[in-house]
Structure 1
Amino acid sequence: MSDVNDKPRRRYRSATRSEGARRTRQAIIRTAAELFAEHGYAATSLAGIAQAAGVARPTVFAAFGSKAALLKQVLDEALAGDDEPVPVAERPWFRPVWEATDPGGVLDAYAEVCLVIARRAAPLFEAVRRAADDAPEAAELWSTLQANRRAGARMIVTQARKLGPAAPGLAAETAVDIVWLYNDPPLYAALVTRCGWSEEDYRRWLATTMRSALLPSG
């Protein structure tokens, strides 16, 4: 029996070890993002990711559990910009949407948000879309991505309509449909990556097009 005066031992967690684990995790995520975008989901294995990242396969499995879980984490970080548990709508680069004082300002700010997200996530959206036909886990993730984009579109329409009138006769749900169409990252891939548009041209076109579709003329 231990002495009543004995103090329980405190579990010691090395800050250096924790930071090392985080760096390893981020290296895996960066590598996985590159391989998923370049080779597709089906052709990318955990073993291949581990080899390219310079770690053992059990390390990848221990950190993420499965290829589907790793793909989801890669997408989450591409959408948010890092691994901090902060929703997209609360990110500093989303703040101009909430600070806008009129509907046009909301749409201009959201066009910039769409650019920021698409720059990071467009290739990964394409990888998930291609995989969705054959991999149930990818199909589920694709469905979630579409639902999340629609939720974002609804949030923007609601905010814009709080600040001013919409185009005459435009139902709120139709406005959500329109924003959901335009906030799709593959649009960035088509116009910037394939057609050679500058990012500023893309942002300006997106803002102008959403304004024209959603707001009163003039």
Structure 2
Amino acid sequence: MAEVKADRRRYRSPVREEAALRTRRAVVTAAAELFAERGYTASSLREVADAAGVARPTVAAAFGSKPALLRQVVDEALAGDDGPVSVADRPWFAPVWQAEQPSAVLAAYAEVCTLIGRRAAWIFEVVHRAAADSSEIGELWTTLVRNRRLGAQMVLRRARETGPLRPDLAEGHAVDALWVLNDPALYGSLVRDRGWSEDQYRRWLAAQMQAAVLPAAPGR
């Protein structure tokens, strides 16, 4: 008689997967609130678990470590959700690629930076403050700074594809200028601390970016 082999294929339960997703979302939300209120260092995984209404081992099983949880909070703040899509491929970044003049590219990028500032200025501050206390968080901060510069480089390349930039400005300096201006800390200082409206900030940022890397208009 032929041996009947057990089906060892992994069974997937949509109900269980949905429950796990809700748990992850609850943990990320709780962590974001605690990190914003108390800072990263002063917030424990136990407190995050309590705030999320789950057991501490559940948090560890879902994210592995506190630094990994912080990275998830950062990623979701930057992207707006937990989907595996890069910032440059998000629909709200599309106007940068669709613009047909350098000034329009930079205006669209100022809009992107305003959106990111609204969502992520606070978590950049959290990471920056914690960077000195942990090598892992220090590496995360270094990555965030490096990625901002790579983003500036990408946008500058797109602007150059659509028209001339300042001929007297070396490419590295042009990238540096956009890198300084795309810092979410500027949003935090001007919008959150000084009370600028987002529209005022966006228009100011676009003007600064355009002045930094575009040729002066005739007659100026």
TM over 0.5: yes
Structure 2 match to 1:52: 51
Letter in 1 for 2:132: D
**Structure-1 separation of matches of 2:3 and 2:111:** 63
Residues 1:160 and 2:159 are matched in the alignment: yes
Structure 1 segments, 4+ long, off by >3 Å, are 2-7
1:133 alignment partner, SS class: helix
1:90 aligns with 2:104: no
Question: How far does residue 12 in structure 1 lie from its aligned partner after superposition?
Answer: 2.1
Deviation at 1:5, TM superposition (A): 5.5
Partner residue, 1:31: 30
Q: 1:37 is matched by which residue type in structure 2? A: A
TM-score using structure 1 length: 0.96
Partner of residue 116, structure 2: 117
Q: Residue 13 of structure 1 corresponds to which residue in structure 2?
A: 12
Residue 25 of structure 2 is aligned to residue 41 of structure 1: no
Matches of 1:6 and 1:187 in 2, distance apart?
Answer: 63
Q: Which amino acid aligns with 1:33?
A: A
Alignment: residue pair count: 217
* Whole-Å separation in 1 of the counterparts to 2:58 and 2:159: 46
For residue 6 of structure 1, report the CA deviation from its aligned partner: 5.0
For each residue in 1:115-156, what CA deviation from the matched residue of structure 2 results, as whole angstroms up to 9, or x when unmatched? 111111111100111111222111111000000001000001
Structure 2 distance, partners of 1:197, 1:132, is 28
1:61 to 1:165, Cα distance in 2 relative to 1, 3 A: same
For 1:144-183, list aligned pairs within 5 A: 144-183=143-182
TM-score normalised by length of structure 2: 0.95
**Could you tell which deviates more after superposition, 29-38 or 149-158?**
29-38
Is 1:103 aligned with 2:102?
yes
RMSD over aligned Cα atoms: 1.3
| 1:203 and 2:202 correspond | yes
Specify every segment of 5 or more residues in structure 2 that has no aligned partner in the other structure, as ranges: none
Q: Structure 1: where are the runs of 5+ without partners? A: none
Distance in 1 (alpha carbons) for counterparts of 2:155 and 2:16:
42
Secondary structure of 1:97's counterpart equals helix
